[in-house]
Structure 1
Amino acid sequence: MAATGGSGVSATQYDVFLSFRGPDTRDNFTDCLYQTMVGQGIIAYRDSEELQAGDRIDDLLRAVGESKICVPVLSRGYASSACCLRELAHVMELNESTGKPLVLPIFFDVTPLDVKLRTEVYVEDLEKHERRHGSEIRQRWEAALRKVAEIKGWEVQGKPHNEVIELVMKQVLHKLKVKLRPLDSKLVGVHEQVEAIMELLNVDSGPGVRFIGIYGMGGIGKTALAKIVFNELCLHFDGRWSFIGDIRESSNKNGLVDLQKQLESDIFDSRFMEKLTNTDEWIYSIRRRASSKKVLIVLDDLDKKEQLKKLVGGPDTFGLGSRIIITTRDKQILEEEEGILAYEVKQMDHDRALELFSLHAFNNVTTPENHQTEMA
């Protein structure tokens, strides 16, 4: 299964439709949930911006109807969004009439009682909608809220986000009849290397900050390894994570400010981004805001020491428990910085290289005997 998402809806049937109010959860819980689904090969849909035009609303509701599972992330601001309530009403009506999509609700910072409208949490928002859209629409949306509140889901308040996301993922994978995919099965011979890198990272080792450098020649698989490890670990970091790719190429074209901005936007709420203009201001801002945060960061394809300094500084930049992964062709960058644990990605032996070739050429790791003879 190939993962997809965004505001452009295709005819593809989605495995999961995420319904959520962007300002409440997009930059933390929902983003981490979405990325975890992508890492497991789930085709997930999330809208990338608030809907305005009627034609986009039609496309969105079509995506709901093409989804096997709907996961509404019910937050305190959920009922303030007419788009969210419109989605939910469509979902619940389809579910009642056809049995699809399956609904798996997440009660983010509300309780089922709030969603059943037995408290005042959603009342003011619903009154505003009634004044704008009429009483029939309000009744329809209230009915959808009450119905979804009756479904057993997950309450997030007071629980680590990674634990809730793990429970959600297990249920989603079970319902889709998909096995948990801890490693990318299309990458031949990576299991041992991933395990070695995980051992160096050792996220359960205690509160220290660890820098891990993955080095080796170009095209040998450093980025692929970093992506697998990143997908394995992101659940442990409550949405405080960032994967900055192609740093060598991006910094040569545009400098480091855009990459610094991306890093800070990934780790913190993008609504409160500062307007800064140079690399010194950005690294100071990152240090100031991140010093108490446990983060997971991948810096992919570094080729200069300055890139490391301007993007993450040193071990004192981030909070206890943080893990920073660097990929580079230049081992010297790692050797010049104290405290970086280095891992070399070595060239595949003949048999594994042949398996990888066979996988891509024949979609099977077992190469035909006559082809092996020709290759010998």
Structure 2
Amino acid sequence: MASSSSSFSVTSPWLYDVFLSFRGEDIRDTFIAHLNHALMEKGIRTFIDEDEVKRGDEISPVLLQAIEDSKTSIIVLSENYASSTWCLDELLKILECKKSRQQLVLPVFYHVDPSYVRKQEGSFGKALAKHAEKLNVDMKKLQLWKEALQEVANLSGDHLTNGNEAKFIEGIVQDISRFIESHSYLPVAKYPTGLDSQLRDIMNLHLSVGTNDVRMVGILGLGGIGKTSLAKAIWNSIAFRFEASCFLANVSDHSNRGRGLVRLQETLYSKIFRGRRSLEIDSIDSGINIIKRILHSKSVLLILDGVDHITQLDTLAGACDWFGEGSRIIITARDQHLLTAHGVDSTYKMKLLNYHDALQLFCWHAFKQQKPVEGYDKFVEQIISYAGSLPLALTVLGSDLYGRSESEWKSSLDKYKQIPHQDIQKILQTSYERLSEEEKNVFLDIACFFNGQLQLDDVIIKILDSSSFCPNFSIPRLREKCLISEFDGRLQMHDLLRDMGREVVRQESPENPGARSRLFFYKDVREVLEDDTVMKSST
């Protein structure tokens, strides 16, 4: 299941956590049986060849595929390992996958001196000499086997001579567990509808994994559009192709807690070493020096998810020359200027779902199938129109309406139009809360009054200017933060962002419209005028 630059999937590239390579006649019913049991007890998916007798000279295609489909390989080098051409061919394939798919290879020297394997002495030398005597063994293949044995003997591994075999196995399982945890498959989405096409686009047009240059790529979009899901899908597709990899989630949230940025540096250090090393960093500056030192010679995949400040980037991924050849640094953000200021090489702007994908995503959550249940079609059309093809809204609303009656659907839809669902409001409002006061005021004015109006309309500019909201500065900033866009010269705001802004205003005084900064709903305007209440000044 080799990767290619044109074929990517949001599903995991691994079927197994561990491939066990061993000489069956030596240790199948003893050491291997105990090791396999210990791995399974930890929930580690292991591929083990159950065929007691291996026939023929060619290794089974099933085994070759199993090696490709495994995240790690444990090679148990016992006394008679090299006497099996199948084992030697397995070894060649495993080392090939170590290079092409960055698999972890753990050699276990089972009552065998590693120097015998490296120099092909003792039973290993005798076995290779016997293979050489056979007329049907290609001398080129023999040389490849010798080189493979030398290579695996030089890898860091475990050596059992005498001692407690149970403790020895426990140590192996701990090493494998740490590696698997640090290279775990990330759950993308319950129903990743519409994500495959965006994954292919960013992989082929922006990342080009396999080239030697170092690239920083931004993923840009408003909250709830699927940036994190796309970043996870990228991770699952290509993380195995790098020497080291790290996915730092919720960077903004973590960086704002105590020694947040230093903690993130420590996490990055630990993940680069696959959990086998930890380090206490005393300051951001020393953390920067450490990260630059350990990463500059490695091919690294680093994903920084949810970045909202330039300091976070300067601290964790300051420049391309921090990283080794072939590295890829991916940054998800809601602010184009942040990515531009940091000097990313390119930016992929997330797209809203097309109607077909939006319909499927909503139906999967609302009905657990690809299309609406009979009788609900008209409601589904209204929901999709209301959600504006935003994945977050389709997911939240679909789950909220699952299993409800038609009358409940109708009531819920009426309610959504008046007061946004709290889960959607919470995610979208995060972008609003990060704005300056001037930007907040301009955003709320557009949400309440000017959505769809000509951007350069003198009247709009004068109104905003009169309130000292600096529209000529604030409007471009809102566009960079994915809160507004421009179409045919008109200001455009996603309907759910508009509703979020209006809900912010309503929450200023839920029971008394006259105490709010803005009035936009005709019933509230009428109530205030009739009651002769005094509306709070927007300034």
TM-score normalized by structure 1?
Answer: 0.58
1:72 corresponds to? 20
| Structure 1 residues 165 and 223: CA distance shift in structure 2, 3 A | same
Q: Deviations over 1:207-249 (max 9, x none)?
A: 11111100111111000001111111112213x1111111111
Q: CA deviation at 1:73?
A: 6.7
1:252 aligns with 2:189: no
Change in Cα spacing, 1:300 to 1:339, as seen in structure 2 (3 Å) is closer
Q: Provide the residue aligned with 1:137 in structure 2.
A: none
CA-to-aligned-CA distance 1:231-271 (integer Å, 9 cap, x gap): 11112213x11111111111122411111111111113644
- Displacement of 1:340 after TM fit? 3.0
Determine which structure has greater relative contact order: mean sequence separation of CA pairs < 8 Å that are 6+ residues apart, divided by chain length: 1
**C-alpha offsets along residues 176-201 of structure 1, whole Å, 9 cap, x if unaligned?**
xxxxxxx9792111222111210200
From 379, 400, 415, give the equivalent of 1:374. Answer: 379
Which residue pairs with 2:270 in the alignment?
265
Query: Counterpart of 2:301?
Result: 296
Partners of 1:281 and 1:156 in 2: CA distance? 41
Report the CA distance shift for 1:369/1:345 in structure 2 as closer, same or farther (over 3 A). farther
Secondary structure, aligned partner of 2:377: helix
**Post-superposition CA distance 1:100-132 (Å, at most 9, x none):** xx997899686x7x324569xxxxxxxxxxxxx
Q: In the alignment, what sits opposite 2:209?
A: 203
Rounded Cα–Cα distance in structure 1 between residues aligned with 2:81 and 2:234: 44
1:347 to 349, 352, 358: 352
Higher gyration radius (CA): 2
User: What is the distance in 2 between the residues matched to 1:93 and 1:296?
Assistant: 30
Q: 1:273 to 1:217 in 2, by over 3 A?
A: same
Q: What is aligned with 1:39?
A: 12
Determine helix, strand or coil for the equivalent of 1:86. helix
Report the CA distance shift for 1:160/1:368 in structure 2 as closer, same or farther (over 3 A). Answer: same
Please, what TM-score do these two structures have when normalized by structure 2? 0.42
* Structure 2: tracts of 5 or more residues without a match: 1-8, 41-46, 53-61, 106-187, 382-539
Relative to 1, partners in 2 of residues 1:266 and 1:154: Cα closer, same or farther, differing over 3 Å?
same
Q: Percent identity?
A: 28
| Of 341-350 and 320-329, the range deviating more from structure 2 | 341-350
Tell me the residue number matched to 2:338.
333
Out of 304, 313, 316, which is 2:318 matched to? 313
The 3 A distance-change label for structure 1 pair 201 and 117 is: same
CA RMSD between the two structures: 4.1
Q: Secondary structure at the residue paired with 1:370? A: coil
- Residue pair 1:162, 1:237 contacting (<8 A) in 2 also: no
Q: Find the aligned partners of 2:277 and 2:366 in 1 and give their Cα distance.
A: 48
Q: Which residue number in structure 1 is paired with residue 96 of structure 2?
A: 159
Alpha carbons 1:241, 1:296 under 8 Å: kept: yes
CA contact (8 A) 1:156 1:164 kept: no
1:115 is aligned to 78
In the superposition, relative to structure 1, how do residues 241 and 359 fare at CA in structure 2: closer, same or farther (>3 Å)?
same
**1:299/1:326 contact within 8 Å kept:** yes
Letter in 1 for 2:78: V
Amino acid at match of 1:39: S
**Structure 1 stretches of 5 or more lacking a match?**
1-35, 46-69, 120-145, 169-182
How much does 1:347 deviate? Answer: 2.6
Amino acid at match of 1:163: S
